[in-house]
Structure 1
Amino acid sequence: MDGINNLKYDHFIEKFGNVVEHCPIIAAVVWAARPFPSFADLFDRFSTVIDSLSMEMKAGILRCHPDLAGRLAATGQLTPESMGEQRAAGLLDLSPSETVTMATRNDQYKAKFGFPFVVCARENKKAAILSGLEDRLLHSVDEEVQLGIDQVKNIVRLRLQDLVNMADARL
């Protein structure tokens, strides 16, 4: 953790700014809480910042996420992190009928909740994601904000593990 704790602000944001998709401000707040005695503490700091946000701000974090297997994926415009996560879940290899189903459910979800469906793709495969998307359409907005944020924190944990492991490998 010494290497991470010694990162200057700009370098910390460069490395950790997309741990929460398109939300470098979260990393900026976390940087100010250094030093981090352990990986668990680093993750806890990200989680604490996210949990401290209002419901509207949490929904804003969810709005920063791309549609799963959506237009950005089809045109190669996802962040490298999202591209790898969606690829691992099989979302970049959908059949034509799965593509239509995913697009339809994504549209229904966004129309109901006002933000994209967020799930930790690395912890799921396409069948579970399609099923989960359908199931979660039955929830209230408040339930979906909380479920989405729980998924964001799973994504954060995995992205942090990748970054910390990369930093350790270089030492």
Structure 2
Amino acid sequence: MRELPGELTVADLAELFEGRTRFVERLATEPDPLVRARTLVHELPLDEKREVLDAHPAIGQRKGLSRHSAAEQGADIDPAVLAELHRLNADYEARHGFRFVVFVNRRPKTEILEVLRERIDNPTELELETALDELVSIARDRWVRA
């Protein structure tokens, strides 16, 4: 496992956070970006919070995945579980206005379904902050496991 870096490029961060967003560009100017990300992500204006969350693929998405997301989401998903993930993802996005983000790596999709069911009725403000924390956890895990 690697230690957290003192600096990263925009390209490095875009890979970890699933896209080149305003957040990623700002984070690349920070010392200790993966440490600073935990605080900075919560200081973003609402539109930038949504932008960084929506850059992430939906849980259960099968096409257009980065190498990280493809490895984390796995190849074998029961079609019934996949259908339920798609339905709940759509319900979640309709309710909250942004993508559901959860740390998936090495967790069965049935467990993710339960997390999604539990979180879908949370207040949007709580969900927004939870999703942002999960997003940073994913990026940090990707770095240390690479």
**TM-score w.r.t. length of structure 2:** 0.83
Please name the residue that 2:67 is paired with: 80
- The secondary structure found in structure 1 opposite 2:71 is helix
Q: Which fold has the larger relative contact order, with Cα–Cα distance below 8 Å and residues 6 or more apart in sequence? A: 2
User: Please, which runs of 5 or more residues in structure 2 have no aligned partner?
Assistant: none
- The secondary structure found in structure 1 opposite 2:16 is coil
- The secondary structure found in structure 2 opposite 1:121 is coil
Q: Where do 1:1-171 residues align within 5 Å?
A: 12-34=9-31, 41-70=32-61, 73=62, 75=63, 77-87=64-74, 92-122=75-105, 124-163=107-146
1:97-145 superposed Cα distances (whole Å, 9 cap, x missing partner): 1122111111111111112211011153212101011111111111110
Aligned length: 143
| CA–CA separation in structure 2 for the residues paired with 1:135 and 1:151 | 15
**TM-score w.r.t. length of structure 1:** 0.72
Q: Which is greater in Rg?
A: 1
The amino acid of 2:142's aligned partner reads: R
| CA–CA separation in structure 1 for the residues paired with 2:118 and 2:22 | 32
User: Please, which runs of 5 or more residues in structure 1 have no aligned partner?
Assistant: 35-40, 164-171
Q: Which has the higher helix share?
A: 1
Per-residue deviation at 1:55? 3.2
